[in-house]
Structure 1
């Protein structure tokens, strides 16, 4: 279980992020609508994770990590890589390419050429899928010597929170990039640095 201070810090950071993009003026085009929606959905997943941590509904916190990561990756791909036709088809309900193809396309862009997103995926994907799809790794956290009940360590809960905060920070930076707001992006990076040291 997380402490009140840890939960209050998570709530405060989430609210700071919300206000950073609240009513932010964005260009009115399909690419921004598609990418911005994905970033917003990633931010919504982060908010849900905080609410679930507060409510001690931990299984769902873990399950949302993969979808938050995917929402962010799709947002960046739509913003930077997708053709106009792919953007339009996405808005019409078609699925984008699989995540490996999205990451490969992003790795060809200057902002992602170091391959950090692909590294995050390669190190965490099996575990993220296990949590999202109720795999053995997740079921292990529901078995104790005395019965069947949630049994997550504080370290695991903090790991969920940190991963979610990294993804939501990147997503908010994505929105700020769409808005061409470098000033708020700098403030966010400073705030994120302080948050990671907490």
Structure 2
């Protein structure tokens, strides 16, 4: 594929992500219960959605490395919000608030996948596909360093196809996060609308 075609595909994906961010934002007037557990979940889901927006800002500025560094925090925010929403008991929530027991990602996944709708292992499969690279990008591992080296220069040297695939992934996580927010607000009608929009975006 030519460089020009890669750039056209990149711009189309940027437009798709941006249009869906705007659409989701327009639908985010969700009534969330006011108990502590629900509010914590909603706050973390909102943070996950902000990570997607930040990734897109950085990608449009061609700061691909910094954008890729936020993929793991986005995924982890979604998982942590979902764990609080579906799994955490009052003792765990108190420890979370005091920052005394921040559960590792695999623990969150194991708990969530015991709840309705996640028994198929979709979260484990998603983690398996992205985690090693996502950690490397977040923590300045070889994944970052190797993409800033070329034969005659030191600087950004990212594969645009890789950036496009990462945009597809973070868009999916944004939709999944929004669906969790719909569940939090018991808004099944909106959830169905979001699912249809997600289907049309793939």
8 Å Cα contact 2:51/2:74 also seen in 1? yes
8 Å Cα contact 1:46/1:168 also seen in 2? yes
8 Å Cα contact 1:77/1:105 also seen in 2? yes
**Normalised TM-score (structure 2):** 0.91
Q: What is aligned with 1:40?
A: 46
Q: What is aligned with 1:93?
A: 99
Q: What is aligned with 2:122?
A: 116
1:192 pairs with 2:187: no
8 Å Cα contact 1:34/1:90 also seen in 2? no
Q: What is aligned with 1:146?
A: 152
Cα shift readout 1:67-108 (whole Å, capped 9, x = no counterpart): 000000001100000001212332343443211111111111
Distance 1:44 1:100, change over 3 A: same
8 Å Cα contact 1:66/1:129 also seen in 2? yes
Q: What is aligned with 1:130?
A: 136
Distance 1:162 1:95, change over 3 A: farther
8 Å Cα contact 2:44/2:77 also seen in 1? yes
Matched pairs, number: 195
Unaligned stretches of 5+ in structure 1? none
Q: What is aligned with 2:20?
A: 13
Q: State the alpha-carbon separation in 1 of the partners of residues 50 and 79 from structure 2.
A: 15
1:52 pairs with 2:58: yes
Deviates more, 1:118-127 or 1:64-73: 118-127
What is the CA RMSD across the aligned residues, in angstroms?
1.4
Offset of residue 3 of structure 1 = 4.4
Offset of residue 118 of structure 1 = 1.0
Q: State the alpha-carbon separation in 1 of the partners of residues 98 and 180 from structure 2.
A: 22
Q: State the alpha-carbon separation in 1 of the partners of residues 42 and 189 from structure 2.
A: 19
Q: What is aligned with 2:3?
A: none
**Normalised TM-score (structure 1):** 0.93
